[in-house]
């Protein structure tokens, strides 16, 4: 019978499901492996990126399961989010109905791939039971002061009609729709991720060598720690009066305290309170006020494009060391959100300050030796024009100046972070409601835990205009959990990244307990951290930073025990490309997994994805290479006719002929390689290649025992990659015995009677010789010399190097 993937795959998928073959065991004394591929958004159909992601994860899960590890390999659905609402707007379908229908369809697609997911642990993050526990966490974080509500400037996407977190703004545009992000002042809920900035940075060290350097540096840059001096600029008496005594001065932060004597002006962000006060009290020219307001309304991208723009604010501050009066400017390049929105400007040693100063003709004062007149010098050097600091190397002066400021109580050494707090409010319907209530008397009040979940209303109109929960006639009406008077329910919902920040703990929690708790500590203690996490680099900052933070926050509010990091090892898979570009619907260069499986079967789809490139690299799609993968499986399946015994034969290696010996060696080469591949390098392509080589070598000989042993081992090795055909072959040929436990490498097969050695002269390969395995060094050298005689004429051999089992190198003059 020829290979028919449909039949075989159906048979085994049914069997596995009936046997509940992929459920983790309840026994916590067993050694565990938690293998997790990032869960999908139920967009409607699987794409090749999913196939790749899950093929990699499944290979690992099956490998460890076969070695008798207790394996947790779950799947679920990251089910809240904008696309569900867009579908509602476009096709008039309710987001909930759309989402669950998609899940049902995609679950079937996953099933046809034969992935070894646990079926009992599946959930969708939009399940009310999931929302319930998430809301409890949120309330607890509020009580523990990790969550707060405030009104501030936020990133607003008019297209998506919602606020975005900093991490969701890419080059000034919305990460989802690419619309330019506006700045807007409005209230929202924030998680205090800054409180964990240092821990998040420090613990990256625990992940070194386990996460890719790329992701680690991206996270570290995003957190953006820098150390420097923070101090107060006092307003001059006249300026203080001008501002009606409202301000004493303002704080600045600098990483260059060494340049303190070079300060010739200061600059404030357009949003700075002092600037606002000047505007409010009309202390600036009307034209200038207009311009400043203009800047404040610009997006960050627009500001960057506009070049450097600023205005003299007509007030001055006192230099803390020299007592000089220094002008205060407002400048469009000063960020409101960092370092207090104010900077000390040292045009001689900072490019930006220099550009600004040149443009507005502000004074320059060089304080570090080494630069040229007429440009900013940012290198190292000795201090000049710096009073008591003259002659000190600037690198050393940083600490000196901080010390000086601290002694005089003028300022202090500080650490600053680029990381901003995580804004989690979204003005959207399809998300988890933020479980708070606004009461006129009590203010912001969390919902009572026994009232959770606060569920979404089913009857809702989704038009794309405004916030559907806000527009709902009755939903937000409620009573205050504290005083019982009439109150208004919060209509913002949680960022969907909140759901994906703790799903790894939900999977680990035994489903029997899902009604009783959100996360079971004991279960989490057993299963976490995730031994292998697999997903795309696009989450290098967003999801992975949030999930790391949430882990630490959940620990501190008491929902999990001491756990530093959720994901011990991270494999970032490359994209799937077609003609050099990322597969996408809009480009029309997609390959439909369903059609692929229909035509060739799941095993071919899986084999190709793992064979065409190592998982970390981009995968270029190639139809004829898919054919090649299919051909290999057919060939493997066809060779079952070579085997008649059902046992792993015991072979007398010495009685074999040369081809038989080579075949065995190739088979065991593959077996040896497999441990490294499955446990360390994940370069499945090389293991598959080794199996192909082994099969090619087996084809060159006729020994039935060697064939039996070969297929016994090859199907064992490939089962995690092409499980259906291997299960089928294994059942037919070996009563499935080779799919349990470990196989041992027999070193004897690597012992060869004779070896082929390369012969090189001065490192240049000239010939090869065949030598007896037991030949002495002298004999080998002699043979080598004889084989390259023509190159040795008129030369003297000055050195002979024998690399055992590899080559001979003769150094001649």
Q: In what order do the strands lie in the sheet with 532-536?
A: 70-72, 32-37, 532-536, 570-573
Show contacts with RNA in window 51-110 (CB under 7 A): none
Tell me if 335 contacts RNA by CB under 7 A.
Answer: yes
Q: Which of residues 265-284 bind RNA (CB under 7 A)?
A: 269
**Phi, psi torsion values for 130, nearest 5 degrees:** -75, -45
Q: How far is the CB of 391 from RNA (least distance, A)?
A: 23
Residue 153 within binding range of RNA, rule CB under 7 A? no
Q: If binding means CB under 7 A, how many residues of this protein chain bind RNA? A: 82
Minimum CB distance to RNA smaller for 186 or for 306: 306
Which residues, numbered 510-569, are part of the site for RNA (CB under 7 A)?
537, 540-541
Residue 440 in the binding site for RNA (CB under 7 A): no
Residue 166 three-state SS:
helix
Which of 28, 513, 587, 617 touches RNA (CB under 7 A)?
Answer: 617
Q: Are 678 and 720 in contact (CB under 8 A)?
A: yes
Which CB, 123 or 567, lies closer to RNA? 567
Q: Which residues pair with 173 in a beta bridge?
A: 170, 180
> Taking CB under 7 A as the rule, does residue 587 contact RNA?
no
Please report whether residue 665 would count as binding RNA according to CB under 7 A.
Answer: no
In angstroms, give the least distance from the CB of 376 to RNA: 12
Window contacting RNA (CB under 7 A); options: 111-119, 346-354, 406-414, 652-660: 346-354
300 interacts with RNA by CB under 7 A: yes
The sign of the CA dihedral 38, 42, 48, 49 is negative
Residue 570 is a binding residue for RNA (CB under 7 A): no
User: Largest Cα–Cα distance in the chain?
Assistant: 108
Cβ neighbours for 120, distance < 8 A, ≥ 6 positions apart: 20, 23, 511
40, 42, 83, 228: residue in contact with RNA (rule CB under 7 A): 228
Tokens standing for 136?
């409890």
Among 39, 142, 196, 333, interactor with RNA by CB under 7 A? 333
Write down the least CB distance from residue 522 to RNA, Å.
Answer: 38
CB nearer to RNA: pick between 238 and 306: 306
Cα(428)–Cα(163) distance, integer angstroms: 9
Asked if 130 and 78 touch (Cβ cutoff 8 Å), the reply is no
User: Among 148, 247, 338, 360, which residue sits at the site for RNA (rule: CB under 7 A)?
Assistant: 338
Q: What are phi and psi of 261, to 5 degrees?
A: -80, -5
d(CA 391, CA 403): 17
Nearest to 548 by CA among 680, 419, 416, 679: 419
Find the binder of RNA among 620, 649, 775, 783 (CB under 7 A): 620
Please report, to the nearest 10 degrees, the dihedral formed by the alpha carbons of residues 334, 338, 343, 346 taken in order. -90
Instruction: Please tell me whether residue 322 adopts helix, strand or coil conformation.
Output: coil
Q: Which of 471, 693, 743, 775 binds RNA (CB under 7 A)?
A: 693
Partners of 345 in beta bridges: 265
Least distance CB 82 / RNA (angstroms): 19
CB of 547 to RNA, least distance (A): 17
Interaction of residue 365 with RNA, rule CB under 7 A: no
Binding mask 169-208 for RNA (x = CB under 7 A): xxx-------------------------------------
- Tell me the closest approach of the beta carbon of residue 298 to RNA, in angstroms: 9
Please check whether residue 133 is in contact with residue 519, taking contact to mean a CB–CB distance below 8 angstroms: yes
C-beta atoms surrounding 388 within 10 Å: 11
**Per-residue x/- mask for RNA, residues 401 to 430, rule CB under 7 A?**
---------------x-x------------
Q: Find the part of the chain contacting RNA (CB under 7 A) among 42-50, 556-564, 605-613, 711-719.
A: 605-613
The least CB distance from residue 150 to RNA, in Å, is 19
Window of 149-157, 242-250, 454-462, 804-812 that interacts with RNA by CB under 7 A: 804-812
Check whether the bond before 735 is cis (ω within 30° of 0). no
CB closer to RNA out of 294 and 471: 294
Assign 41 to helix, strand or coil. Answer: coil
Rg (CA), the chain: 34
User: Three-class SS of residue 319?
Assistant: coil
CA–CA separation, 448 vs 591, rounded Å?
49
- The nearest distance, CB 608 to RNA, in angstroms, is 9
Best CA proximity match to 369, nearest among 361, 360, 377? 377
Smallest distance from RNA to CB 379, Å? 12
Residues 761-800, interacting with RNA (CB under 7 A): 762-763, 765, 768, 799
CB of 714: closest distance to RNA in angstroms?
A: 13
Binding to RNA in span 709-768, by CB under 7 A: 756-758, 760, 762-763, 765, 768
Question: Does residue 306 touch RNA according to CB under 7 A?
Answer: yes
Q: Report the 10 Å Cβ neighbour count for 32.
A: 19
Interface with RNA (CB under 7 A), residue from 334, 434, 454, 576: 334
* Tokens coding 507: 């999977």
């Amino acid at each position: 019978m020829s290979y028919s993937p449909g039949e075989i795959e159906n048979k085994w998928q049914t069997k596995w499901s009936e046997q509940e073959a992929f459920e983790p065991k309840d026994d916590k004394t067993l050694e565990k492996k938690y293998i997790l591929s990032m869960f999908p958004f139920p967009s409607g159909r699987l794409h090749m990126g999913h196939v790749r992601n899950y093929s990699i994860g499944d290979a690992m899960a099956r490998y460890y399961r076969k070695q008798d590890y207790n394996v947790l390999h779950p799947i679920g659905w990251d089910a809240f989010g904008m696309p569900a609402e867009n579908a509602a707007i476009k096709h008039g379908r309710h987001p909930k109905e759309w989402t669950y229908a998609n899940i049902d369809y995609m679950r079937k697609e996953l099933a046809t791939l034969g992935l070894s997911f646990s079926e009992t642990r599946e959930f969708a993050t939009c399940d009310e039971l999931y929302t319930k526990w998430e809301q409890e966490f949120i309330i607890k974080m509020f009580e523990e002061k990790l969550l707060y509500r405030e009104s501030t400037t936020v990133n607003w996407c008019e297209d998506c009609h919602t606020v975005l977190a900093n991490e969701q703004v890419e080059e000034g545009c919305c990460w989802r729709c690419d619309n330019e992000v506006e700045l807007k002042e409005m209230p929202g809920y924030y998680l205090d991720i800054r409180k964990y900035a240092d821990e998040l940075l420090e613990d990256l060290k625990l992940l070194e060598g386990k996460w890719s350097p790329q992701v680690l540096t991206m996270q570290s840059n995003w957190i953006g720690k820098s150390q420097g001096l923070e101090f107060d600029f006092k307003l001059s008496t006249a300026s203080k009066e001008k501002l009606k005594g409202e301000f004493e001065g303002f704080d600045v932060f600098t990483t260059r305290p060494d340049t303190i004597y070079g300060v010739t002006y200061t600059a404030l962000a357009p949003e700075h309170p002092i600037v606002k006060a000047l505007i409010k009290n009309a202390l600036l020219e009307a034209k200038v006020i207009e311009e400043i307001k203009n800047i404040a309304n610009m997006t960050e991208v627009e500001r960057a494009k506009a070049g450097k723009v600023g205005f003299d604010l007509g007030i001055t501050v006192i230099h803390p060391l020299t007592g000089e009066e220094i002008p205060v400017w407002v400048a469009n390049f000063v960020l409101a959100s960092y370092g207090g929105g104010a900077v000390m400007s040292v045009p001689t040693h900072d490019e930006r300050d220099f550009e600004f100063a040149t443009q507005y003709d502000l004074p320059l004062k060089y304080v570090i030796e080494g630069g040229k007149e007429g440009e900013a010098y940012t290198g190292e050097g000795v201090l000049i024009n710096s009073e008591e600091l003259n002659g000190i190397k600037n690198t050393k002066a940083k600490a000196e100046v901080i010390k000086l400021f601290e002694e005089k109580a003028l300022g202090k050494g500080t650490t600053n972070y680029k990381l901003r707090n995580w804004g989690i409010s979204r003005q959207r319907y399809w998300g988890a409601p933020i479980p708070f209530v606004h009461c006129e008397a009590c203010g912001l009040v969390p919902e009572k835990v026994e009232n959770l979940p606060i569920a979404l209303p089913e009857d809702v109109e989704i038009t794309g205009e405004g916030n559907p929960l806000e527009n709902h006639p009755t939903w937000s009406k409620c009573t205050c959990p504290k005083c019982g008077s009439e109150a208004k329910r919060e209509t913002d919902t949680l960022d969907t990244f909140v759901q994906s920040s703790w799903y790894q703990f939900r999977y680990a929690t035994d489903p029997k307990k899902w009604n009783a708790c959100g996360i079971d500590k004991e279960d989490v203690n057993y299963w976490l951290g995730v031994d292998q996490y697999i997903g795309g680099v696009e989450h290098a900052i967003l999801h992975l930073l949030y999930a790391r933070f949430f882990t630490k926050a959940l620990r501190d509010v008491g929902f999990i025990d001491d756990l530093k990091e959720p994901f011990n090892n991270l494999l970032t898979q490359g994209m799937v490309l077609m003609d050099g570009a990322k597969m996408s619907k809009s480009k029309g260069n997609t390959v439909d997994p369903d059609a692929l499986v229909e035509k060739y079967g799941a095993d071919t789809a899986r084999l190709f994805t793992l064979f065409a490139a190592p998982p970390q690299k981009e995968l270029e799609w190639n139809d004829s290479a898919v054919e090649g993968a299919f051909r290999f499986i057919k060939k493997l399946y066809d060779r079952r006719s070579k085997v008649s015994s059902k046992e792993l034969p015991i072979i007398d290696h010495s009685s074999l002929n040369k081809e038989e010996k080579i075949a065995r060696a190739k088979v065991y080469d593959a077996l040896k390689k497999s441990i490294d591949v499955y446990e360390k390098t994940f370069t499945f392509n090389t293991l598959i290649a080794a199996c192909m080589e082994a099969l090619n070598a087996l084809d060159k000989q006729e020994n039935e025992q060697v064939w039996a042993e070969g297929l016994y081992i090859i199907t064992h090795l490939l089962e995690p990659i092409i499980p259906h055909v291997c299960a089928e072959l294994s059942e037919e040929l070996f009563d499935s015995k080779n799919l349990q436990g470990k196989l041992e490498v027999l070193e004897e097969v690597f012992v060869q009677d004779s070896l082929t050695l390369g012969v090189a002269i001065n490192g240049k390969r000239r010939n090869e010789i065949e030598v007896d395995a037991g030949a002495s060094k002298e004999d080998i050298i002699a043979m080598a010399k004889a084989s390259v005689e023509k190159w040795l004429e008129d030369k003297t051999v000055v050195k002979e190097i024998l690399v055992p089992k590899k080559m001979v190198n003769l150094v001649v003059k």
